Amino acid sequence: MEYRIPEIRKAAELLKSKLDSLEDKRTILRAPELQALYDRIKPLPPGKARADFGKEVNTLRDELEAQVASSKFQTAKLAPIDVTAPFDVNIKPADRPNPLPAKYGSQHPLTAELELILDIFYGMGFSAVESREIDDDYHMFTSLNFPPDHPARDEYDTFVTDEGLIAPAHTSIMQNRVLKTHKKDLEAGKGIRFVIPGRVFRNEDLDARHEHTFYQLEGVYADEGINAGHLVATITAWLSNYFSKEVKIKIQPFYFPFTEPSFEFAASCPFCEEKGCSVCSYTGWIELGGCGMIHPNVFKEAGIDSRKYSGFAWGFGIERLVMLKYNIEDIRHFESANLKFLRQFS
Ligand SMILES: [Zn+2]
């Protein structure tokens, strides 16, 4: 439809582009831009100009109504699909099932943020290895210096299958694997520098700050002569890079079986320069995660001589960082698949 009146032509273009992204197409008929056109009719002096204006506004409304109706019709016509159905990877891309056109999708905010975080670590000389989503007691506990029946095992509230497999409650399950696999790099004088993103699972009571499934990023650094100063410097460098401003780090003693000494770390609030704001609960500091020097027993389990080599590890939740950055009030949004939430990041 061609609209002769420029104001209406412009509004028509805008409303049609809006219509594409709307989940509930009918809301376009209540759009403020359309209402504004109707509001313009009354003050116009009676005559041909007013009649033409009114006619084109009505035509626009009819056109939008027709588009809303046809979009509903198309939805009803779509054949049901099984998005989990496997297909042969050798099928040509053009012949593969295409359940939803890619233009309607966008990156999940956690994926986007994780890519940004990994880029910073790549620039600092780290490599990345993915965590896994099912594991065993050895990697979840024993390799990390949790003795059998140690009470700290209970603090993780792990999900366990009937066969005794564990849905990992932290990305530290990869520490033993990374150390063991790259022991040869250590002995070749190259050091071990890895970050490990992954999904973790805990049997939590859910609320705005606790979710049963969330993402962590683990870091492992080992070499000769590494001390806690290197740990603080590494975390400071990456967080300053992430928030694009100088961030200070504060550590305080904590307990993890797999690090000695162990710490919790907090960053100076990047949003208020430590003056106090709602993000940092008016303390000037934001608690972010746990860290510490790798325990000699963890090195021993990986076959590494802890008298010669030392190292540090740290871990933090990705959701918490993203929530701080974008002022998101409830962690449950991330796993909700709620399009209204996700589209704010597309
Ligand atoms: Zn603050």
Rounded to the nearest whole angstrom, what is the distance from the C-alpha of residue 328 to the centroid of ligand 1? 15
Q: Does the pLDDT at position 146 exceed 90?
A: yes
In a domain, 161, yes or no: yes
Q: How far is the CA of 250 from the centre of ligand 1 (A)?
A: 15
Q: Are 157 and 202 in contact (CB under 8 A)?
A: yes
- Which residue type, as a one-letter code, is found at position 98? N
Centre of ligand 1 from the C-alpha of residue 94, in Å = 50
**Which tens digits make up the pLDDT trace of 179-226?**
999 999 999 999 999 999 999 999 988 888 889 999 999 999 999 999
Higher confidence at residue 76 or residue 239? 239
Among 165, 173, 164, smallest CA distance to 140 is for 173
Residue 216 · residue 206 · CB < 8 Å: no
Q: Which residues contact 19 (CB under 8 A, 6 or more apart)?
A: 25, 28, 64, 67, 68, 71
Domain that holds residue 218: 109-345
Residue 322 CA to ligand 1 centre (angstroms): 15
Judged against a pLDDT cut of 60, whether residue 76 lies above it is answered with no
Provide the number of structural domains found in the chain.
Answer: 2
Residues 162, 256: one domain?
A: yes
- pLDDT of amino acid 72: 63
The alpha carbon of 269 and the centre of ligand 1 are apart by a number of angstroms equal to 5
Distance 292 CA to ligand 1 centre (A): 25
Same domain? For 68 and 121 the reply is no
Higher pLDDT, 156 or 143: 143
Distance 273 CA to ligand 1 centre (A): 7
* Whether 143 and 60 share a structural domain: no
Question: Model confidence over 229-259: pLDDT tens digits?
Answer: 999 999 999 999 999 999 999 999 999 999 9
Concatenated DSSP letters of 27-55? GGGG-HHHHHHHHHHTTSPSSHHHHHHHH
User: How confident is the model over 89-129, as pLDDT tens digits?
Assistant: 788 878 776 666 777 778 899 999 999 999 999 999 999 99
Residue after which a domain boundary falls, among 57, 77, 97:
77
Asked if the structure places residue 316 within a domain, the reply is yes
The residues, ordered by sequence, that sit 6+ positions from 76 with a Cβ below 8 Å of its Cβ are: none
CA of 169 to the centre of ligand 1 (A): 29
Please check whether residue 92 lies inside any domain of the structure: no
